Amino acid sequence: MKLILNIFIFCIVFLQSIIINSQSVNAYVESDSILIGKELNYTIDVNAEKVENIIFPDSTSFVPFELISVTKVDTIKQDDGFRFSKKYGITSFDEGDFIIPKIKIQIGDKLFSTDSKKITVNLVEVDTTKQGLYDIKPSFDKFTSFEILKLSLKNNYPVILLAVFLVLILFYFRSKVIEFFNPLLNIKPALRPIELIKKRLSDLEKINVDTAAEIKFFYSELTFTLRSFFEKEVYDKALESTTIELILKLNNLSEIKSFAITKNSINRIEDIFKRADLVKFAKYLPENSVIKNDLKIINEEVKLFSVLLPEPSEEEKLKNLNYQKQAEKKLRNERLKIVSIFTVSLLIILFIFSGFLNGFQYTIDKITFNENLKLLNKIWIKSEYGSPGIFAETPDAMLRINSENEFLYDVFKLDSQFYFSNSNQSIEFFISNYSSDSKIEPENFQSILDSNLDDLESRGLQNMLLKYDEFETKNKGKGLFISGTSDFKIGDKKYKSGDYNVIGFLTDTGFKTIILLTHETRYMDKIKERIINSIEVLKEEKK
């Protein structure tokens, strides 16, 4: 009987050892020494025949090391069961030798432990004699003008394309543009009558005389050119005189020697004038050789006229110069008038188009550089204020208040306070972080925020209407929201209506407050809404 009992006990122990051996826990580290602050991988492997409920260690199990990362459980199917593996990233910020204690892992209803590990944490060696030392870089305050320009152009590519298109057009028509805006290029110097007739005769040489109309046009221009010359230099009624009257006048001038033209020249001119009359009134069509010969004769006579005429006097030259100046002035005024009318018309068209597209009030505010509109359209800055603090987005970075802090409490310590406002203080924004030696009960938190209202009254707010509500941030932070309308004192007897908003967040070590004061002006509601919607409160990490 005793033998049977011993066999039974042996079987139980044997079976239990088999079950225990079928479940094993092992721990590994990638190295037994690390540099201070560097991550060390700690791996736990659990071998089991079947999938069971396994409870791996939490962050407190690795003390004195700090847990900085954890991976999900990796399950691997093996021939004799399963292997469950999980990796932990740990580190230490103290120098010395430390022990990773035995880590307990629960598998089902059984508890297992890993072996302890000794880890040496070494300092990072820094040899200042072998590296360059540089001055401390200045703190980053705000974007540079060039960075703001790049960010502005990034979302305004249609404007860039339009500008490039206009530049290409101006480059293509650059000669026309220069000629238009430089009146001197459009003014040709006034020619002397003798020079003018030479130029006109030169142009006549290029005219085709194949048809009756072209022959008639040729002789009309030829006689007009010669009459115009006589009108200015010889006889002031040459254009309105008949051929007989003009020839008679030339003979008289020749006799009194006021214009020393020869009889032969007069006869040759008379023949050409009579032939021109026949062409114009009798439909006479001379041969091409006759036409060319008539033009040749006139050219020869003009050469003789240039010898007979005296050089222009200084008075005549000065008169011509004054004429050019007057012409230049007249042309410049015409150009300025055209450009002014075009510019004003373009601005009016753009204003009307923008008014229909965006609204006339918005367009006027854009033209007059409305400050609130500028704040709304500029690139806003989102940052954390406090540690841990509050994330908020504002047109400019909030400034830390180091002295003359506002909204102080006698029983709470002000850790940090930040402030933003525009130039005329129609918007003021405060973020404050307070700490408390004792825990603040939630039911007492409202009375704490109410004391901020007394401070607001001391800043000139009157006729305040109150409204209490709950506030929830985008990251699910809960707070208390006090808001309402008020009259802001902006002078001895001047008040401006507006809104105030007080938001409070209760933490384990204190509380945080947000105070937003806004006057009732255009676009202020959008600015206020954007600031409030951007608020996120960061939770304190429990140690």
Digit-coded pLDDT (tens) for 221-278: 888 888 888 887 777 788 888 888 888 888 887 777 666 778 888 888 888 888 888 8
- Percent of residues, the chain, with pLDDT higher than 90: 6
Distance CA 278, CA 284 (A): 5
Class of 373-537 per CATH? alpha beta
CA–CA separation, 214 vs 220, rounded Å? 10
- 245 or 323, which is more confident: 245
Query: 255: left (phi > 0), else alpha (psi -120 to 50), else beta?
Result: alpha
* Residues 179-236: tens digit of each pLDDT: 666 655 455 555 677 778 888 888 888 888 888 888 888 888 888 888 888 887 777 7
Predicted pLDDT of residue 517: 92
Q: Which helix (H) or strand (E) holds 54?
A: strand 54-55
pLDDT score at 340: 86
pLDDT exceeds cutoff 90 at 502 = yes
Chain-centre distance for alpha carbon 526: 21
Q: Which of 3-12, 23-32, 149-158 has the lowest mean pLDDT?
A: 3-12
Considering only CA atoms, give the Rg of the chain.
51
- Indicate if the pLDDT at residue 3 is higher than 70: no
* Residue 57: strand, helix, or coil: coil
Output 186 or 493, whichever has higher pLDDT.
493
Residues 297 and 268: beta-carbon distance below 8 Å = yes
What is the SS3 assignment for 429-485? EEEEEEECCCCCCHHHHHHHHHHHHHHHHHCCEECCCCEEEEEECCCCCEEEEEEEE
**Pairing state of beta strands 33-35 and 117-122?**
parallel
Cross-strand pairs, 107: 54, 110
Residue 280 sits at φ, ψ, to 5 deg, of -80, -35
User: What is the rounded distance in angstroms from the CA atom of residue 476 to the CA atom of residue 537?
Assistant: 9
Q: What pTM was estimated for this model as a whole?
A: 0.45
What one-character-per-residue DSSP string does 112-147 give?
Answer: EEPPPEEEEEEPPP--GGGS---PPPPPP-S--HHH
Residue length, the chain? 543
Report the b/e string of 339-350 with b at 16+ CB within 10 A.
eeeeeeeeeeee
**Matching fold, domains 22-122 and 373-537:** no
Distances in Å between the alpha carbon of 124 and those of 117, 127, 314, 434, 441?
22, 10, 95, 37, 45
Rounded to whole angstroms, how far apart are CA atoms 514 and 517? 10
Confidence of residue 321 (pLDDT cuts 50, 70, 90): low
Q: Which is higher by pLDDT, 173 or 347?
A: 347
User: What is the distance between the alpha carbons of residues 222 and 241, in angstroms, rounded to a whole number?
Assistant: 16
Backbone angles phi, psi at 413, to 5 degrees: -95, 130
pLDDT in tens, 48-83: 877 777 888 876 778 788 888 888 888 887 777 788
pLDDT at 14: 43
How do residues 121-158 score in pLDDT, each as one tens digit?
A: 887 655 555 544 445 444 445 556 676 666 666 656 66
User: What value does the mean pLDDT take over residues 154-168?
Assistant: 74
Helix, strand, or coil here: 229? helix
| Residue type for position 367 | I
pLDDT of residue 480: 92
Q: Indicate the fold that domain 22-122 takes in CATH.
A: Immunoglobulin-like (2.60.40)
Residue 122 region, left (φ>0) first, then alpha (ψ -120 to 50), else beta? Answer: beta
> What's the distance, Cα to Cα, between the start and end of the chain in Å?
61
CA dist., res. 305 & res. 311, Å (int): 12
Domain boundaries, the chain: 22-122, 193-308, 373-537
Could you tell me which of 421, 371, 427, 424 has the C-alpha nearest to residue 401? 421
Give me the pLDDT at residue 503, please: 93
Q: What is the pLDDT of residue 17?
A: 44
Q: What is the pLDDT confidence band of residue 21, given thresholds at 50, 70 and 90?
A: very low
Give me the pLDDT at residue 172, please.
82
Which residue, chain included where needed, has tokens 């307070």?
Answer: 434
- 85: which strand partners? 45, 74
What are the C-alpha distances in Å from 61 to residues 85, 89, 100, 111?
17, 13, 9, 15
- pLDDT for the residue 134: 44
Q: Say if residues 289 and 336 touch (Cβ distance below 8 Å).
A: no
CA distance 535 to 537: 7
- Listed residue (128, 78, 119) closest to 96, CA to CA: 119
Handedness of CA 7, 9, 13, 16 (dihedral sign): positive
